[in-house]
A and B are shown apart, each in its own frame.
Chain A
Amino acid sequence: MDHILVAKNVSKTYGNYTALSNISLEIPKNCIYGLLGPNGAGKTSFIRIINQITHQDTGEIFFNGEHLSPKHIALIGYLPEERGLYKSMKVGEQALYLAQLKGLSKHDAKERLKFWFERLNIGDWWNKKIQELSKGMAQKIQFIVTVLHEPKLLIFDEPFSGFDPINANIIKDEILKLKEQGTSIIFSTHRMESVEELCEYIALIHKSEKILDGKLADIKNAYKNNIFDVGLQVEANGEALMHSLAEKFNILSSNLQKQEGHLDFKVQLPSSHTGEILRELSTIGNLYRFDETIPSANDIFIQTVNNKENGK
């Protein structure tokens, strides 16, 4: 598979503090890649290395198959977690300046800015100063400036912090559109549930180490425990039925009182084969729910961290 970015054994220390230890990642082209982990795990350190703000102590990074070098800066768009704009500068001027720093000509930058300002309905902001705008408004400008030079790789560090839900949705849609147009995107966040629906691939970073990475669907498959959520409508005595089921299957929890004539329980199967239990259940009553419980990224993260720490 083609990769936009490959990191091999990247380490970085600040004095006695290890920010990254031996991180290896492969970020495929044209996908949304989630870089997940709690605050202080090393996500931002890694991103700063990609942006060549700092340099790794050891290890190698390849961008599009080439060694990462200053010429790639123009191909990367970065929305940092700590972001802001010059307060006393006018919106348009400022956006032009930042676009030109990314290598766009003044003319091109102006054309594209007009397009984006129209698209996000902020055309009349051009001559306003940043200090006159709300935080959410300023975030929109920052987003535009990040994507304006049409980078091949976009990096968003906590992109939705500071956005109200409506604007967050607008930005999410724009990000999905960019992905459709062929951009590769890295998402970095500690709020794992927020990007789960967007990411195809994830990497979990904990205490400067990568503890897990891969396709989100694969990871979830690997982490599912064959636990199923069952809802069954019965006519006979629920308690007796539960007893007989518990003898054959590993019932994790049950709730008989919920509604009369209904059995509600979770069951863990030894394998992913469901034929046997389905046959059994259908003889007892009407099966109206049979869901596999899929762990969230957060669950997986906690489980992996626990496994790792217990394993030590």
Chain B
Amino acid sequence: MASKLGLIIKREYLAKVRNRSFIVMTILSPLLIVGMIVLIAYLAKINDNETRVISVLNESSFFQEEFKPTKSLSFVQLDNLTLEQAKDSTNALEYYGLLHIPEGDTVEEVARATYLFTKDNPNSGVTQKLESIFQRQLRQDRLKKLGVSSDQFSNVEAPFEINLATFDGERSIKGINEIKAFIGGGFGYAIMMFIIIYGGFVMRSVIEEKTSRIIEVIISSVKPFQLMLGKIVGNSLAGLTQFTIWIISASVLLSLVVMVLGIDLSALSGDSNIPAGPMGGMSQLAPMDSEMMMYTKEIFDIPWGILIISFFIYFVLGYLIYSSIYAAIGAAVDNETDTQQFIFPIILPLMLAIYVGFFSVFSNPHGPIAVGFSLFPLTSPIVMLMRLPGGIGEGGVPLWQFLLSIFLLIITFLGIVSLAAKIYRVGILMYGKKPTYKELVKWLRY
């Protein structure tokens, strides 16, 4: 009996792995992914390195010291030109735009009459930067009228960031919950994709056996349950093979690309809160440096071992549950177009898990909604993984919740696989009927 299961697993695996579209996908995907990453990194680099030049025609007596160059914006003062001449020379020099500050008696008046001339619609970053310069000046000017000196003003304007600490005295930093949830979310998302893609493989494989009419030949030799199980295991092994190939080849390719093109991958993280490497000029500031150390420490503190082991546990259990449903659907229908009505209810809890995860786990990883969905078996593989970067035990997921969710998953798996096997057993021998849910319930009782 066990050897027959082995035979089935082997056949399903080989049938999948030898499939032409599978091979193409396996080879092309890493290239696509690496290509995308390189493209994004490249664009980010271009974006970062581009310094826009704005020529300033300042006819007023204000704003003499305000236009300091920043990383993305530099200024060229134009003097003794008419507006038309200034426009022409800005165009000729291919500057980004011309800022015209006319003559005036007050800052207020001058600011109101100021124009930014550009070729196309200006970038919002540029306008925001310029607006902030004017706002600061206007505020200072108005406060001066109220009797606040410029020194006092600088004092008032000093930036402030709140300090964070945990109860046991460790300093904590902003955004680390989000980072942790992001990492967990990444694992959860991988599980969802895997379930949808490889569950679909199982379903199509069942439909193929039905339409090619080989099914009755096979189940006269083996039990339908064995065939179903072999199919699920064989396809998931094929999926894992694909995953492994992707990860290995993508990382090899990526490091090759990095070596050859010298693209700084840390440019990718420019948007997030993780200061990675000596980018963005942040390292010039000492307090930032220690903060970065803390981020790095926190990331290293994430229990990767637990996370990876749980990933496999939750992946296997979640995949088993969903792919048995997929197998039952494949058995119930005659062709793939009939599967739509049944597919949607399966994808629904998965989508729900992702959304609930990103909305509630981000803001409160141990709140009631996060706990509820990380126990509910159809969503727990995804939601629990989003909570797990906080670790198990104190400060993280309580051990009982972790164990309970695994226990519930196992119970659910046993329940669903036996129901699915019943539908499967009846469905594979039914032809020409477009089944309804009512019909499926009837099959459970045969």
Within 8 A of A (CB), among B48-105: none
* Contacting pair A51 B220 (CB below 8 A): yes
Name the residue on A nearest B209 (C-beta).
A86
Name the residue on B nearest A16 (C-beta).
B442
Knowing A82-B431, A88-B15, say if A15 contacts B442 (CB, 8 Å): yes
Does A168 make an interface contact (CB < 8 A)?
Answer: no
Does B354 make an interface contact (CB < 8 A)?
Answer: no
Q: DSSP majority for the A interface?
A: loop
Name the residue on A nearest B219 (C-beta).
A53
CB contacts (< 8 Å) of A82 on chain B: these are: 213, 216, 431
* Contacting pair B7 A100 (CB below 8 A): yes
* Contacting pair B7 A86 (CB below 8 A): no
Does A177 make an interface contact (CB < 8 A)?
Answer: no
CB contacts (< 8 Å) of B429 on chain A: these are: 48, 53
CB contacts (< 8 Å) of B431 on chain A: these are: 82
* Contacting pair B213 A83 (CB below 8 A): yes
Contact indicator per residue, chain B 1-40, by CB within 8 Å of chain A (1) or not (0): 0001001100100010001000000000000000000000
Q: Which of A73-81, A191-199, A214-222, A280-288 contacts B (4 or more CB under 8 A)?
A: A73-81
* Contacting pair A97 B11 (CB below 8 A): yes
* Contacting pair A86 B214 (CB below 8 A): yes
Within 8 A of A (CB), among B212-230: 212-214, 216-222, 224
Name the residue on A nearest B446 (C-beta).
A14
* Contacting pair A83 B214 (CB below 8 A): yes
Give the one of B213, B220, B442 with max A CB within 10 A.
B220
| Bound Cα distance from A86 to B11, whole angstroms | 11
CB contacts (< 8 Å) of B221 on chain A: these are: 73, 98, 101-102
Does A145 make an interface contact (CB < 8 A)?
Answer: yes
* Contacting pair B445 A84 (CB below 8 A): no
Contact indicator per residue, chain A 47-68, by CB within 8 Å of chain B (1) or not (0): 0100111000000000000000
Within 8 A of A (CB), among B402-446: 429, 431, 442, 445-446
Knowing A15-B445, A101-B222, say if A87 contacts B212 (CB, 8 Å): yes
Name the residue on B nearest A74 (C-beta).
B221
CB contacts (< 8 Å) of A14 on chain B: these are: 446
CB contacts (< 8 Å) of A73 on chain B: these are: 220-221
Rounded to whole Å, the gap between the CB of B432 and the closest CB of chain A is 11
| Bound Cα distance from A142 to B216, whole angstroms | 12
Rounded to whole Å, the gap between the CB of B72 and the closest CB of chain A is 56
Does A85 make an interface contact (CB < 8 A)?
Answer: yes
Name the residue on A nearest B425 (C-beta).
A54
| Bound Cα distance from A78 to B219, whole angstroms | 10
Contact indicator per residue, chain A 78-120, by CB within 8 Å of chain B (1) or not (0): 1010111111110000000110111000000000000000000
* Contacting pair A101 B445 (CB below 8 A): no
State how many residues of chain B have any CB contact under 8 Å with chain A: 24
Knowing A73-B221, A76-B220, A101-B222, say if A84 contacts B214 (CB, 8 Å): yes
| Bound Cα distance from A89 to B11, whole angstroms | 10
Within 8 A of B (CB), among A21-65: 48, 51-53
| Bound Cα distance from A97 to B15, whole angstroms | 12
Within 8 A of A (CB), among B195-248: 208-209, 212-214, 216-222, 224
CB contacts (< 8 Å) of B15 on chain A: these are: 86, 88-89
| Bound Cα distance from A224 to B94, whole angstroms | 110
Knowing A88-B15, A98-B221, A101-B222, say if A80 contacts B216 (CB, 8 Å): yes
* Contacting pair A85 B446 (CB below 8 A): no
| Bound Cα distance from A73 to B220, whole angstroms | 7
CB contacts (< 8 Å) of B222 on chain A: these are: 101
| Bound Cα distance from A87 to B209, whole angstroms | 9
CB contacts (< 8 Å) of B224 on chain A: these are: 53
* Contacting pair B217 A53 (CB below 8 A): no
* Contacting pair A101 B7 (CB below 8 A): yes
* Contacting pair A84 B212 (CB below 8 A): yes
Rounded to whole Å, the gap between the CB of A137 and the closest CB of chain B is 15
| Bound Cα distance from A87 to B446, whole angstroms | 31
CB contacts (< 8 Å) of A89 on chain B: these are: 15
CB contacts (< 8 Å) of A48 on chain B: these are: 429
* Contacting pair A98 B212 (CB below 8 A): no
| Bound Cα distance from A89 to B222, whole angstroms | 19
* Contacting pair A86 B446 (CB below 8 A): no
| Bound Cα distance from A48 to B446, whole angstroms | 15
Contact for A53 among B213, B216, B442, CB less than 8 A? B216
* Contacting pair B446 A84 (CB below 8 A): no
17 A-B Cβ contacts within 8 A?
A: A15-B445, A48-B429, A52-B220, A53-B216, A73-B221, A76-B220, A78-B217, A82-B216, A83-B214, A83-B217, A85-B212, A85-B217, A86-B209, A97-B7, A98-B217, A101-B4, A101-B222
Q: Which 9 pairs from chain A and chain B are nearest by CB?
A: A84-B213, A80-B216, A101-B221, A84-B212, A78-B220, A51-B220, A82-B213, A84-B214, A102-B221
A sample of 7 more A-B contacts (CB under 8 A), given A82-B213, A82-B216, A98-B218, is A73-B221, A84-B214, A86-B209, A88-B19, A98-B217, A101-B4, A101-B221
